[in-house]
Structure 1
Amino acid sequence: MSEKELPAGWVWVRLSDVLSQPLINGRSVRTLGGGFPVLRLTSIKDGSIDLNESKEGAWSEEEAQPFLVTHGDYLLSRGNGSRKLVGRGGLVGDISNPVAFPDTMVRVRVNPKSMAPEYLRYLWDSPLVRRQVESLARTTAGIYKVNQKMLESISFPLAPLAEQERIVEALEGRLSSLDVAEGNLRAAHAKAEALMPRMMAALFCSVETKIHRLSDVAEVRLGRQRSPKNHAGDNMRPYLRAANVGWKGLLLEDVKEMNFTDKELETYRLEKGDIVLSEASGSPGEVGKPAMWNDEIEDCSFQNTLIRVRSKAINPHYLLYFLRCSALRGDFRAGARGVGIHHLGAAKLSSWSIPVPSGEDQARIVDALDTQLSALAAASEIFEGDRSIDRMASALRSAILNRAFTGALVPQDPTDEPASALLARIQAERAAQPKAKRTRRAATTPRKAKRAPAAAPIESAPAPSPTAAPAHAVQQEFDL
């Protein structure tokens, strides 16, 4: 947006033009119980500052005084490992107890005569400002950082003060509605996800069955361990690992290889209809996640991060649906063991109870689940991929903010005092303020004494012999 495109009464400014005080960084303070509170970086949440996110620091209230936050301050992060998060900030609301801000934040105080702090809050999250912040950020050791000079150079359109208030009011209404809609979509997605295992479990219970151990109807085997000696060899072959198994099937974009002898290949080769499950995961909900192998890759084996289940006396598709139901319901999660990494184990899975109906009922259940789950999956696609809730909400939010700061969200009022007049008045006030006098630093070395004018040479008396140097040098003082 060029300056010609600005609505009437608007003006382009830099952040430095609207500050009431210069930008300052906070102070680094180590944690100390009983000390004066200082905010954590995690206090920045959704455009606001959570004043409860603080720690007690090793400093006094007097030392913290220059860094106390006040209502209307805008605090933003100086650095982050993600370019999209660096420079994000939050507005300080009502303060019940005094608290300071840390060196990981920059404090922005705008002049309320020219800019409403709430206007800055929404403006700072707009695409216009975010593009500038992200382009200015510089990375050091993987951390993107911004500094005061960069931030002061950020330019943006400033609306008349009265219009700023109307923009803020409109944004609060529209963004609140967007938050409600986003919450409803997430709730609908969660219900759809929860409906799937309930639907599957209901079908498994709808017919007469006999309970068997899984090992009675299928072969259960843990995969081949990957070790350095197998990283190379004459028989390099493809193999699946836990990363190749997804909730919707196999993920075969990145399939690794390792050395398998012909005998090992016979043991670990996958066959059409085999089911592979994730044996372990750092996330308990991922344990036991199954997928079916359909001979996608020739002579492919599997690693010990997976368990292979090969049907012996049961419909493999029925088996797949039962295992997926157990995983989705959290049955495998409850049965997994381990700290940090949760393991299911081949022995545990072998003893797993499975309801086995007649062959006809198995086929009927598979047909019903194929139909019902395909319809449910189609509905769930609304929340995934390019149409995911996060993507849709982010795009809508950006569009609303873009309209707000191009003058398209609320109508202009010709009676509003133009932003240029506000800015000119503030600049005049700044110019009228007396400039602070510089205090000359005390000299670190004594002044040299002025050299006296040379006296006329005296020829009558010879020069005396030089005096021996004293043992300790003493500085001679002169009255100036």
Structure 2
Amino acid sequence: MKLPEGWAWARLGELGEYTNGRGFKKTEWSESGRPIIRIQNLTGSGSAFNYYAGTLEKRHTVRPGDLLVSWAATLGVYIWHGPEAALNQHIFKVEPFIDRSFLRYLIDYKIQELLAASHGSGMVHVTRSKFDEIPVAIPPVAEQRRIVDALEGGLSRLDAATEAVGVAKRRIKPFATSVLDRAVLGALSDVPPDRRAVDDSQRLLAGLSSKRFDYASLPSLPEGWFWRRSSDICEFISSGSTPKSHLMYAGSGDIPFLKVYNITQDGRVDFTNKPTYVDRETHEKQLRRSRVRPGDVLTNIVGPPLGKTAVVPDEYPEWNINQAIVAFRAGEEVHPEWLSLALRSPIVLGMLQRTAKATAGQFNVALSTCRELPLPIPPMGTQLDLVEQSTELLEVSNRFALQVERLSLRSRHLRQAILRRAFTGNLAVQDPADESASVLLDRIRTERKTQGSRANRTGRRLRKTAAPDSPPPPSASSIPAATAVQQELPL
């Protein structure tokens, strides 16, 4: 872009000292001491801390108000508001050479560019050289402060709205799980309350045993409802299989071949997602045991996540499934939609998950477990009524979730648009009297070169000082509310 008057080009690595954390071994973890800041503690995906009670170098010590940048797994910039802590690897502690808040917003703005420069298919990461070489446009120091003032005014309102959307988003899943559990345990049925707890509901499991499930501890159900073993109410329960790669065809073919990613979290089959086919001969010979038809109920037995369940639609007369999916064909006593509802409910899914074996981060449920799984079975008329009620409630939840997701996306785009205006010189006014950014950058480069020479002569690392006129770190009251990329984190 053409730089505004007084602006200058720099590299991200020039604008601060970035110190990576250290790797803490499990043997170094303690019950007390400084909390060890890991990426999940910054993103909010994990609230529990490990602690380190040993002696810690100053460069790996984090204090309230420090600026942190995660450069692996989840890229983001954060302000630390907990107590004095230890810095784990994959996180930079930043000592800015320019206005502190300006650099924080600048890194936030460059997150997408950093993502584009990242490596790795599992846990992505940005190499230090790529991070340092990201080009950035820098305004004069005085304009940096004007930009920060404008950003904090506009983004604080956006962040408040984003947080409200986030609260709504977090409430959707508990609502959906509540609907499912209340339906399959009879709380949504019209059975009078005094007839809802009947010990007779386990009668049909008497004499049956299972190594995986304690049938005697199952909760009571309304009168007329019974716990049934899945193999007793289904015509068959079978897992799929996967042929060799040359027997599968992308985009078109004779028989649609379903994989786990074709089953959605909201209970549908989505065959528009990377559709795969097999030919009829493979379907009828090699894969004959994994053939399914409309009305069969599918659930995945390899995760995470487990619990993706759907009824096979009538889009094709026959389908096939891979080895990570189990098909249940409902018998006369159970409707397919009720079977699907039960398999998605937290109480039934929880029983399956507790039997899963974990291998290398992957959870596997045995086919024999699926056949022994206990399911709540009400009279057929009640099944149909509850399926209708639950479907209506879940559709409301899904529509609300879609609206919330659209608002979240709009919020992210609006935030990026505001940051783009800020860092292209279109948010704050330029003042010809401001000292040019090139003068500031020359001063930083000279000082870094001087300190580097001293460090080489003395054989030790010297701390770099911030540029002149750099303001002190912002107080807690001046920091914007939490966002997906930039968060305040009370411990």
TM > 0.5: yes
One-letter identity of the residue aligned with 2:349 = F
The question of whether the paired residues in 2 share the 8 Å contact of 1:269 and 1:301 is answered with yes
Over the matched positions of the two proteins, sequence identity in percent amounts to 16
**Which residue of the partner structure matches residue 460 of structure 1?**
none
In 2: Cα distance, 1:440 partner to 1:348 partner: 67
One-letter identity of the residue aligned with 2:414 = L
For residue 121 of structure 1, report the CA deviation from its aligned partner: 0.9
Correspondence list, 1:3-402, <5 A: 3-4=3-4, 11-14=7-10, 19=15, 23=17, 26=20, 31=25, 33=28, 42=39, 45=42, 64=57, 74-76=67-69, 80=72, 85=75, 88-91=76-79, 96=84, 108-111=94-97, 115-126=98-109, 129-130=110-111, 133=114, 137=117, 139=119, 144-147=126-129, 150-151=132-133, 153-158=135-140, 159-160=142-143, 162-164=145-147, 166-167=149-150, 169-170=152-153, 173-174=156-157, 176-197=159-180, 200-201=183-184, 202=186, 205-206=189-190, 209-211=224-226, 213=228, 214-226=230-242, 239-246=257-264, 247-252=266-271, 253-257=274-278, 260=282, 262=284, 268-278=290-300, 280-283=301-304, 286-287=306-307, 289-314=308-333, 316=335, 319-336=336-353, 337-340=355-358, 341-343=363-365, 345-346=367-368, 348-349=370-371, 352-359=374-381, 361-384=382-405, 387=406, 389=408, 391-402=409-420
In 1: Cα distance, 2:455 partner to 2:376 partner: 86
The question of whether the paired residues in 1 share the 8 Å contact of 2:65 and 2:80 is answered with yes
User: Structure 2: any 5+ residue segments left out of the alignment?
Assistant: 192-222, 249-253, 458-491
The superposition leaves residues 149-178 of structure 1 with CA deviations (integer Å, 9 ceiling, x where unpaired) of 944743233453652552464266335414
For residue 329 of structure 1, report the CA deviation from its aligned partner: 2.5
User: Structure 1: any 5+ residue segments left out of the alignment?
Assistant: 442-480
The superposition leaves residues 346-388 of structure 1 with CA deviations (integer Å, 9 ceiling, x where unpaired) of 56546634333255x554444444544444433332134xx27
The question of whether the paired residues in 1 share the 8 Å contact of 2:24 and 2:88 is answered with no
The question of whether the paired residues in 1 share the 8 Å contact of 2:257 and 2:278 is answered with yes
The question of whether the paired residues in 2 share the 8 Å contact of 1:72 and 1:93 is answered with yes
The question of whether the paired residues in 1 share the 8 Å contact of 2:10 and 2:441 is answered with no
Structure 2 counterpart SS, 1:276: strand
The question of whether the paired residues in 2 share the 8 Å contact of 1:222 and 1:346 is answered with no
In 1: Cα distance, 2:379 partner to 2:448 partner: 89
Structure 1 counterpart SS, 2:292: coil
The question of whether the paired residues in 2 share the 8 Å contact of 1:224 and 1:304 is answered with yes
For residue 330 of structure 1, report the CA deviation from its aligned partner: 3.4
The number of aligned residues is: 400
Structure 1 counterpart SS, 2:138: strand
Structure 2 counterpart SS, 1:221: strand
One-letter identity of the residue aligned with 1:206 = D
In 1: Cα distance, 2:349 partner to 2:444 partner: 70
Structure 2 counterpart SS, 1:310: strand
In 2: Cα distance, 1:217 partner to 1:100 partner: 55
Between structure 1 and structure 2, the one with the greater Rg is: 1
For residue 125 of structure 1, report the CA deviation from its aligned partner: 0.6
Structure 1 counterpart SS, 2:96: coil
Relative contact order: is structure 1 or structure 2 higher (C-alpha 8 Å, sep ≥ 6)?
Answer: 2
In 2: Cα distance, 1:428 partner to 1:237 partner: 69
One-letter identity of the residue aligned with 2:139 = P
For residue 69 of structure 1, report the CA deviation from its aligned partner: 6.4
In 2: Cα distance, 1:272 partner to 1:256 partner: 17
Structure 2 counterpart SS, 1:248: coil
What TM-score, normalized by structure 1, do the two folds share? 0.62
